Amino acid sequence: MLGLYPVVTQAVYLVLAPRFAEIAIRLGDEGGVLRITARGLEKGVWERSWVSHRDLMGVEGRGGVLEFEMGAERVGWDVGELPPSPGFVG
Q: In this predicted structure, what is the pLDDT of residue 62?
A: 73
pLDDT band at 88 (very low <50, low <70, confident <90, very high): low
CATH superfamily membership of 4-67: GH92 mannosidase domain (3.30.2080.10)
Q: In this predicted structure, what is the pLDDT of residue 52?
A: 85
pLDDT at 43 over 60: no
Which ranges of the chain would DSSP assign to H, the alpha helix? 53-57
- Gap between the Cα atoms of 43 and 28, Å rounded: 25
Alpha-carbon distances, residue 46 vs 9, 33, 51 (angstroms)? 23, 20, 9
Q: Which residue has the higher pLDDT, 48 or 61?
A: 48
Residues comprising the chain, all counted: 90
pTM, rounded to two decimals: 0.66
Q: Where are the domains of the chain?
A: 4-67
Cα 32 from chain centroid? Answer: 16
